[in-house]
Homo-oligomer: A and B are copies of this chain.
Amino acid sequence: MPQGQPSVVPDDGLTTRQRRNRPLVMVHTGVGKGKSTAAFGMALRAWNQGWPIGVFQFVKSAKWKVGEENALRVLGASGEGGTVDWHKMGEGWSWVQRDLQGDNFSNEEKAREGWEQVKRDLAAESYKLYVLDEFAYPLHWGWVDLDEVIEVLRDRPGTQHVVITGRNAPDKLVDFADLVTDMSKVKHPMDAGQKGQRGIEW
- Spell out A's residues near B (CB within 8 Å): 1, 3-10, 12, 16, 19-22, 24, 27-30, 32-42, 44-49, 51, 64, 66-68, 70-72, 74-75, 78, 80-81, 128-129, 161, 174, 177-202
Contact = CB atoms under 8 A, between A and B. Distances in A.
B187 A19 contact: no
Contact of A179 (B71, B72, B188): B188
Scoring A22, A35, A48 by chain B CB atoms within 10 A of each residue's CB, the highest score goes to: A48
A70 B81 contact: yes
Contacts of A37: 37-38, 41-42
Nearest to A48: B67
A188 B81 CA distance: 27
Given A38-B38, A161-B199, 10 more contacts: A7-B190, A8-B191, A8-B192, A19-B194, A32-B182, A33-B181, A34-B38, A48-B70, A70-B81, A74-B75
Nearest to A18: B194
Contact of A16 (B10, B178, B195): B195
B38 A190 contact: no
